[in-house]
Structures are given as structure tokens and as C-alpha cells.
Chains A and B, each alone.
Chain A
């Protein structure tokens, strides 16, 4: 698998979330994802960017175009926030420590083909998702 193209986008404010959604849409369209798959990836990006912003205190998104064996788009959200003490719980539908619906992590996992999460309390959280063409 090789990375064809990549860029890092800050996720530090609400207007950044709009930029995240727009750039993910552009790259997903250019990669040739179907309209439904583009929409799923952009929606997952919106959920994860909100988590980065609200729970992680801000961070970045690495946006990569992948080639080989298939074309795809990978998004990696990284923050240096408090971390998630119990990942199993955090990945459950309806679980939230905030005021949302608890669909951010569990819901976005259903919208992508690959989902990886790493979190260390006091260090931060990294979530990587991939949607293949």
C-alpha cells in the first residue's frame, strides 16, 4: 500500500470542521468513491473531528489518498487530550461522557471499511479510518 498524496488539516475550531468536511469530500470524489461512500466518509470525518475538538481539546487530521491494492482514502485524527480510559465502553452505541448521543465513535466505525483506535490516558487519542473504492 502506498500513499499517493497527503495533507494535514488542523482541527482546532468549529470552522476547521467545515474545512475538514470539504477537503475529505474533494479527495474522496477525486479518488472515485461513489456518492454514498463519499457521504459516509465525510459524515465519519465530521463525527471524528467533533470528538477531536470536544474531547481531545483539538488536534489534527491527516488526509491521505491510498493506492494499492485498491484506491482509498485514509483519515487519521490525532489529539493530545486526556485519552479514553475504557475503549470498549467508548465504542458502544449510546455511550457518552459529554452531551451528545454517543454515536460519534460507534457510528463512524460503521461508516468506514477499516477503523483503528489507540488511546492512552494523559497522552492522547489517535483514530484512523479508511474507506476503499
Chain B
């Protein structure tokens, strides 16, 4: 089955969408990404859509879903590289991708993810992880 590869780079997952997305492929990516976040404990997801010639309401909704799902799994999502013509069309279509962080290119996107990771958000996670470990230790005793 056709799949979009998900690369791991440290605490981040990277996805470059290079094929014309049909709806099922978009759904598969959504599922694969949430699984990988869960498996790897990734803190950020960077999705490069610079090769996408259109983003319609379905793909737009998928990007929103990925951002929301990863947020629930304590990871940030940044969508990078949207072509100007795609951005103009998307807004006219009525989608401004609420809840989805965007950056102009991969470098800016990585910077955004690193900043988010160094922000107050990470301390919450730390407390949670420690609490989690403590709970495990208790149960082992």
C-alpha cells in the first residue's frame, strides 16, 4: 500500500508530502502519525507541503486533525512551505487552518518547534513523566 514516509529526527517527526494526495492516503498519514508520536514520544511534528499544488478542504481538515491529535498527545505540529497560490486559494475557499501553526520554510518551522519545546510546556510534561515513573515504582514495590 502507498504510504507517506515519516522520518524521525531527535525529538521531532518529519513528513514531506511529495505526491498528489488522494483522500485515503491523507487518512492513512493521519493514523500513521498519531501512532508514531505515541511510539516515539516525539515532541514535535513538521509537515512540509511545499510540493503540494493544492490544498482542498479535505487536506485542510486533515492538517487540522493532525495538529489537534498531536496536541492531545503533547506534541506540537508545524506546517511549512505552503505555496502562495495555495494559501490564497485556501483562504478564499473558507479555510484559514485555525489551530495549525505554520512557518514559511523548514528552517523556520524547526525553530518554532524548538522554541515551543523550550517553553513552559515542556515543564508540564516533565512533571507528568516524573509522576508517571513514580507511580510505576510504587506499583512495583
Contacts and interface: CB of A to CB of B under 8 A. Distances in A.
Nearest to A101: B57
Interface residues of B, number: 23
B94 A25 contact: no
Interface string A63-88: 00000000000000000000000000
A18 interface: yes
Contact of B92 (A14, A100, A110): A110
A43 interface: yes
Interface in A74-124: 93, 100-101, 103-104, 106-108, 110-111
B89 A50 contact: no
A50 B59 CA distance: 12
A92 to B, nearest CB: 11
A31 interface: no
A96 B99 CA distance: 22
Given A15-B22, A17-B23, A25 B53 contact: yes
B31 to A, nearest CB: 16
Nearest to B60: A101
A38 B79 CA distance: 23
Contacts of A39: 53-54, 83, 85-86, 88-89
Interface string A5-38: 0000000001101100110010000000001101
Q: Which 9 residue pairs spanning A and B have beta carbons closest together? A: A107-B93, A39-B85, A46-B56, A103-B57, A36-B85, A14-B22, A43-B54, A39-B89, A107-B94
Given A39-B83, A39-B89, A40-B92, 13 more contacts: A17-B22, A18-B22, A21-B53, A22-B20, A25-B53, A36-B85, A39-B53, A39-B86, A39-B88, A46-B56, A46-B58, A100-B61, A110-B94
Interface of B: 20, 22-24, 53-58, 60-61, 83-86, 88-90, 92-95
